[in-house]
Structure 1
Amino acid sequence: MKATIWHNPRCSKSREALALLEAAPGVDVTVREYLKNPPSREELAALYARAGMTPAQGLRRGEAIAKELGLATATDDAILDAMVAHPILIERPLVETDKGVRLGRPPEAIREIL
């Protein structure tokens, strides 16, 4: 099985999810450091749709830029635009397999798609 993790190596939850994936037998892991290789708006929208999440649910609300941009009450379209412009706003880790997409908070949540 192939799995892609949208990863930030500075995030402890992201590191935990990556370790879980690497320890899972038969899982071929691709690491996408989304801060270095940001997603397009279309990729991000598709990822959230597969996860059954709204962009608002995938927003890191505590980031200073989220507050600066007033994203707490923004539309999903505005949030997606902000995430593309400022990938730090993307909550992590997101893990994608053929079985779906899960936000790894807690990291154990990704077991559902392995």
Structure 2
Amino acid sequence: MTHTLTLWHNPACSASRAVLTLLQTHGLDPVVIDYLHERPTLAQLQVLAATPGLGAREILRVKEPLVAELGLDHPDTSDASILAAIAAHPVLLNRPLLTSAQGGRACRPPERAWEIVSP
């Protein structure tokens, strides 16, 4: 996952679409994972969270109401609990997430992609 340019993408999200457009405008063709349709496995999420620049809390979409409902907003919630919840409820995956050989970033704003990708 960290050697190929990979975008964890939600096509309904304007920020996610902006990152994809930004990359494509610069001639980059990332692997696009529509995570709501291609549900990530727990193993994939563990690898994603272990990517330099990311972590379980970084890949959690904290603005999603389900975070509070599941009690994931407590500081003592374990990474394992967060990743299991994302695997069970992919809507909890933060977006857009981009990984490359240089690491991973939650790309809000979209220009954060350049921290791990050369334009």
Common topology (TM > 0.5): yes
Q: 1:102 to 1:57 in 2, by over 3 A?
A: closer
Listed as ranges, the gaps of 5+ residues in structure 2 are: none
**Larger relative strand fraction:** 1
Runs of 4+ residues deviating >4 angstroms: none
Aligned to 1:68: 69
Matched, 1:80 2:87: no
TM value normalised by structure 1: 0.89
TM value normalised by structure 2: 0.86
Within the candidate set 64, 78, 98, 2:101 is matched to 98
Q: Separation in 1 of the partners of 2:96 and 2:115?
A: 14
**Larger relative helix fraction:** 1
Aligned to 1:107: 110
Please, what is the CA RMSD of the aligned residues?
A: 1.6
Q: Separation in 1 of the partners of 2:39 and 2:52?
A: 18
1:24 deviates by 1.4
Report the residue type matching 2:86 in the other structure.
Answer: M
1:102 deviates by 1.4
Q: How many residues align?
A: 113
Deviations 1:60-113 (A, max 9, x none): 122222111111112111110000000100111111222222111111011122
Aligned-pair identity in percent equals 42
Aligned to 1:46: 47
Listed as ranges, the gaps of 5+ residues in structure 1 are: none
